[in-house]
A and B are shown apart, each in its own frame.
Chain A
Amino acid sequence: MKGWTGKYLRINLSNKQIKKEEYDVEFAHKWVGGRGFAIKILWDELKAGIDPLGPENKLIVALGTLSGLTAPMSAKAVVAAKSPLTGGYGDGNIGSKAAMQLRKAGYDYLIIEGKAEKPTLLYIEDDKVELLPAEEVWGKGTYETLEILYKRYSKKVGILTIGQAGENKALYAVVRAMEGRAGGRPGMGAVMGSKNLKAIIVKGTNKEFSLADSDGLKKIGLEGLKGIRDLDKKVGWSKQGSPEILAWCNEVAALPVRNMRKTSSKDAWKIDGERLEAARVATYGCPNCSMHCGHAILDKEGHISELDYESVGMLGSNLEIFDRAQVASLNYLCDDYGIDTISAGAVLAFYADAIEQGLIQGDFKFGQAEKAKELLRKIAYREKEGDLLAQGTKKMAEKIGQGSMDFAMQVKGLEISAYNCKFIPGMALGFGTCSIGAHHKEAWIITYEIKESSRDSYGRDKAQKVIELQRIRGGLFEVLGVCRYPWIEIGWGIEHYPLYFNKATGLNWELKDFDRLADRIYALIRAFWVREIPDWNREYDIVPKIWFDPKNADTEGPIAGKVLEFDKYNQLLDHYYDIRCWDKKGIPTKQTMKELDLEKEAVELEDYVSLE
């Protein structure tokens, strides 16, 4: 089998059994890697209804087919499990040395089961796989943990770790890697913490991989890295990086401000791309990347804090904190505690909003950066009000009641990222139908809506566009283990990626083959959700009520008086289901699953729900 090692590790933390196992070529060709492997394994190996923070949950760390190879931005690994935040399928991808080292160590994925009796490190060095005590680092933040482990094992190793938030099972605790890298928004860090697993350390020495055309891949891979670097130099994307989006979102009234009640702010310029560029002290990037996106500034306490647009939007404008050093402080604390910055920003904003509405007692207002820092600490330790905040906006709203669910900015329990879709129907659909809950990573459609269509359209073309983007962003990139940034931001053609894949594997895939795989993955992820949620229906694909409320419309600006229309959103959702050949509840039909080679899974799903 070229391109894949065919090998994986099964680690049982309860009985400390470590097994080296193999998978076959059919599995490789059907699911390819990364998210594809993760969903199939979780579907097969998890029983419905298990406690996501219990020993029966499994953490999957899965490389993409290109992870660790000579291809542009090929340092991604997917971390996946049943999500403690949403109760459904959860995953994230992280760029790090861990992906590179795991490739060299010779394993395509890890299945981590059970629960260790004591805090544990998982150490992988080629054939040597050990469970070691983690007392020295348990209780420490991710930055200190990384420092200690690098000293112990060398700076060359790859490390995936958690902070106090993961140890204490805050539901949106993430997995952290080098510098400011983080992933696994739906609580993958909490899953690690629930298993008493503090870190995974990987070192690999193998440099020869079994590829179909190693020299061929190296040639076009290096051309890709150089081509992207040259394009980036030409256009200057890396100068501001992703924070360049903030000023534009402010302009087009899509900025998250004040728990997304407002869409712009006259103070937004204080934390925009240019202001951050001017304060930059360091630039970080993943291995095998030629357009580094990790722009870091000094925070209020003097730490180097690596920022990206989402963090600035959610911890800055969404909280009406327009002091860039303070935003950097909140970002740094999230990274150190191992908390997802998007959910943290949404939770704090919801908390301030609920207090302001008089629905809950509390001492926190928009703009209070110092109090926000203290609340992040309480979330990480699940102390006092932090215990409620650590559960995410959906569970908070369920407890607070009094109509607060209307402005809990989440879908399926995962907090909405930094795009205020009060009047952006297609993007709202993107959030509504993202496979893990509200995340823009699968379909970002705002440019299309403004450029090709129009904001007030709910046309079928928008649903089609969301699916096209999900196929590439939620499918192709997630199974290949490469970063999507070169594609739109720099203009590196998507047609390159099947070429890299074919050189590695000897297959002859085209984009349409990846589309079909993506449709299969989306159907199985949806099946996983439906299996977990007995009363599944389309309401889980609907965005928060406040976006439909005319009383919440902007009173001035480009979208004054406008909000989403509920009936029209539902029509758009119907188009989405129709194009995907899912039923009106958003469940794949029997025929669709058969056509996607999911016949066996369809039979299994019918134990839980009858399929149309």
Chain B
Amino acid sequence: MKIKLKIFGYLIYQFGFREKEVTIPHSFTVGELLPFINLKKQSPMIITRNGKKIDSDDKIEDGDRIVVAPFFSGG
């Protein structure tokens, strides 16, 4: 399965990239995806799938666009 992964804010320094297509072997949940892409959940983050919120137990599907961002509180 191929998914598009886009990262925002200071998380790009942890991930090492801003945007990339990732091949995952089968349908992961969000909770399984994070360690697979080497993201240690050390800071709070907001993860959306195709623009909508997604929980740790939700499954990711082929072609999904997953966006990961840190918590913000405004400028």
Q: Which of B1-39 contact A (CB under 8 A)?
A: 6, 8-10, 12-14, 18
Contact B53 A244 (CB under 8 A): no
Contact A444 B42 (CB under 8 A): no
Q: How far is A310 from B43 in the complex, measured between Cα atoms in Å? A: 24
Q: How far is A276 from B38 in the complex, measured between Cα atoms in Å? A: 27
Known: A252-B51, A489-B71. A240 touches B46 (CB 8 A): no
Contact residues in B for A473 (Cβ distance below 8 Å): 73
Contact B75 A450 (CB under 8 A): no
Nearest chain B residue, comparing its CB with the CB of A251: B67
Q: Which of A217-273 contact B (CB under 8 A)?
A: 234-237, 239-240, 242-245, 247-248, 251-252, 273
Contact A450 B10 (CB under 8 A): no
Contact B9 A244 (CB under 8 A): yes
Contact A235 B46 (CB under 8 A): no
Contact residues in A for B72 (Cβ distance below 8 Å): 244-245, 248, 444, 446-447, 488-489
Contact residues in A for B6 (Cβ distance below 8 Å): 251
Known: A234-B42, A451-B53. A489 touches B73 (CB 8 A): yes
Known: A308-B75, A444-B74, A447-B46. A248 touches B53 (CB 8 A): no
Known: A444-B72, A446-B72. A239 touches B53 (CB 8 A): no
Contact A240 B74 (CB under 8 A): no
> How far, in Å, is B53 (CB) from chain A's closest CB?
5
Contact residues in B for A487 (Cβ distance below 8 Å): 73
Contact B73 A488 (CB under 8 A): yes
Contact with B along A553-585 (1 / 0, CB 8 A): 000001000000000000000000000000000
Known: A248-B72, A308-B75, A310-B75. A236 touches B51 (CB 8 A): no
Whether a CB of chain B sits under 8 angstroms from the CB of A528 is no
Q: How many A-B residue pairs have CB under 8 A?
A: 88
Interface size on B, residues (CB 8 A): 24
Nearest chain B residue, comparing its CB with the CB of A243: B75
Q: How far is A243 from B75 in the complex, measured between Cα atoms in Å? A: 7
Whether a CB of chain B sits under 8 angstroms from the CB of A139 is no
Nearest chain B residue, comparing its CB with the CB of A342: B75
> How far, in Å, is A281 (CB) from chain B's closest CB?
20
Contact B71 A248 (CB under 8 A): no
CB-contact partner of A450 in B9, B44, B53, under 8 A: B53
Interface of B (DSSP majority class): loop
Contact residues in B for A310 (Cβ distance below 8 Å): 74-75
Contact residues in A for B44 (Cβ distance below 8 Å): 491
Q: How far is A418 from B43 in the complex, measured between Cα atoms in Å? A: 25
Contact B69 A454 (CB under 8 A): no
Nearest chain B residue, comparing its CB with the CB of A311: B75
> How far, in Å, is A342 (CB) from chain B's closest CB?
9
> How far, in Å, is A340 (CB) from chain B's closest CB?
13
Whether a CB of chain B sits under 8 angstroms from the CB of A441 is yes
Nearest chain A residue, comparing its CB with the CB of B13: A236
Whether a CB of chain B sits under 8 angstroms from the CB of A313 is yes
Nearest chain B residue, comparing its CB with the CB of A241: B75
Q: How far is A350 from B27 in the complex, measured between Cα atoms in Å? A: 48
Contact A244 B10 (CB under 8 A): yes
> How far, in Å, is B34 (CB) from chain A's closest CB?
15
Q: Which of A485-521 contact B (CB under 8 A)?
A: 485, 487-489, 491
Contact B74 A451 (CB under 8 A): no
> How far, in Å, is B38 (CB) from chain A's closest CB?
16
Q: How far is A237 from B42 in the complex, measured between Cα atoms in Å? A: 13
> How far, in Å, is B37 (CB) from chain A's closest CB?
17
CB-contact partner of A454 in B14, B53, B75, under 8 A: B53
Contact B75 A313 (CB under 8 A): yes
Whether a CB of chain B sits under 8 angstroms from the CB of A484 is yes
Contact residues in A for B10 (Cβ distance below 8 Å): 235-237, 239-240, 244
CB-contact partner of A248 in B14, B43, B69, B73, under 8 A: B69
> How far, in Å, is A43 (CB) from chain B's closest CB?
28
Contact residues in B for A308 (Cβ distance below 8 Å): 75
Contact B53 A419 (CB under 8 A): no
> How far, in Å, is A447 (CB) from chain B's closest CB?
5
Q: How far is A309 from B75 in the complex, measured between Cα atoms in Å? A: 5
Q: How far is A447 from B68 in the complex, measured between Cα atoms in Å? A: 12
Contact A440 B8 (CB under 8 A): no
Nearest chain B residue, comparing its CB with the CB of A559: B51
Q: Which of A435-488 contact B (CB under 8 A)?
A: 440-441, 444, 446-447, 450-452, 454, 473, 484-485, 487-488
Contact residues in A for B46 (Cβ distance below 8 Å): 447, 450-451
Known: A450-B53, A454-B53, A491-B44. A235 touches B70 (CB 8 A): yes
Q: How far is A311 from B43 in the complex, measured between Cα atoms in Å? A: 26
Q: How far is A311 from B74 in the complex, measured between Cα atoms in Å? A: 12
Nearest chain A residue, comparing its CB with the CB of B6: A251
Nearest chain A residue, comparing its CB with the CB of B67: A251
Contact residues in A for B70 (Cβ distance below 8 Å): 235, 237, 244, 489
Known: A234-B42, A252-B51. A447 touches B71 (CB 8 A): yes
Residues of A in contact with B (beta carbons under 8 Å apart)? 234-237, 239-240, 242-245, 247-248, 251-252, 273-274, 308-311, 313, 417-419, 440-441, 444, 446-447, 450-452, 454, 473, 484-485, 487-489, 491, 558
Q: List 15 A-B contacts (CB under 8 A).
A: A235-B70, A237-B9, A242-B74, A243-B75, A244-B8, A244-B72, A248-B8, A273-B9, A417-B75, A440-B74, A450-B48, A454-B52, A485-B73, A488-B71, A489-B72
What 8 additional pairs, Cβ within 8 angstroms, besides A309-B74, A417-B75? A240-B10, A242-B74, A244-B8, A248-B9, A444-B72, A446-B72, A447-B46, A450-B53
